Structure 1
């Protein structure tokens, strides 16, 4: 019985010291420069459906993986003609469900604490996956779809 307590204590200790906080994995350098970071709110043609469209303009092409914004994780897609990455996040009204369908849970528990005007991007380098926090993401005029 004593051996089990020692082993359990040892495992708990190892797991505690091996954990990194999400903020400690952020890098402060990138191999590219973010020239502009904006988001807009959109409202869909279906009642209760809206979301955000986030755009990042870089000074040169680079392979970005994903972005964390307002407690959601999204994929970034590159428009090569403009060198702009775009991510679209959908938010569904939780109080309305006229068809009784189960609503997808697009809210994720992300590993970063972010303010409303902050985002984190992930990208690959020779050191592995890196994370970079973008501050002051500017809100621009949104769109309403009929």
Structure 2
């Protein structure tokens, strides 16, 4: 009977400890960031050629940034991408959507499938965001942090023209 009580007590302690350890893995958003962020906006685009694809670019203008902060990636519309620094004052996140699937070779000959590329794994957002919100991922003094940006403006989409036909 004493052994049974000890087992139940240990089980309860283990369950409670595990439930508290999961709280530490939740991503915490920062209230402030040592970066002066301008007006963030996004713009969808469509390529003018058949297999050019489409996507969304999110533009994050930076007016002034602490040297200790390195902007890394952005989560927007349930996806995450690495940020691209086009100049010291502008970061762009490029979310592209492929319109066609690549050709893959399926055969019973082992070396015939050599040129196939591994499928890309989708990087879903761990954040529950509204239509006009994104989360900026950055490192400050080597520690990963997250900051939510709200009020993102939607600009008119860009429809790139198709390539001109060759006239003989």
Settle same-fold status: TM greater than 0.5: yes
1:84 and 2:87 equivalent?
no
Aligned to 1:38: 41
Aligned to 2:63: 59
Q: Would you say how many aligned residue pairs link Structure 1 and Structure 2? A: 141
Identify which range, 12-21 or 113-122, moves more after superposition.
Answer: 12-21
Aligned to 2:148: 133
Cα 1:140–1:55 change in 2 (3 A) is same
CA distance in 1: counterparts of 2:149 and 2:86, whole angstroms:
20
Gap runs ≥5 in structure 2:
106-117, 163-168
- Following superposition, the deviation at residue 98 of structure 1 comes to 8.6
Cα 1:29–1:12 change in 2 (3 A) is same
CA distance in 1: counterparts of 2:13 and 2:124, whole angstroms:
28
TM-score w.r.t. length of structure 2: 0.68
Equivalent residue in structure 1 for 2:131, among 116, 120, 138? 116
CA distances 1:80-127 after superposition (whole Å, capped 9, x unpaired)? 26x10001001245xx75957997453x33221001111000111137
Identify which range, 12-21 or 56-65, moves more after superposition.
Answer: 12-21
Aligned to 2:53: 49
Cα 1:7–1:115 change in 2 (3 A) is same
CA distance in 2: counterparts of 1:80 and 1:48, whole angstroms:
26
Which protein has the larger Cα radius of gyration, Structure 1 or Structure 2?
2
Contact 2:37 2:64 in 1 (8 A): no
SS at structure 1 position matched to 2:39: strand
CA distance in 2: counterparts of 1:113 and 1:6, whole angstroms:
37
Contact 2:132 2:153 in 1 (8 A): yes
Gap runs ≥5 in structure 1:
none
- Following superposition, the deviation at residue 15 of structure 1 comes to 2.4
CA distance in 2: counterparts of 1:47 and 1:5, whole angstroms:
62
TM-score w.r.t. length of structure 1: 0.77
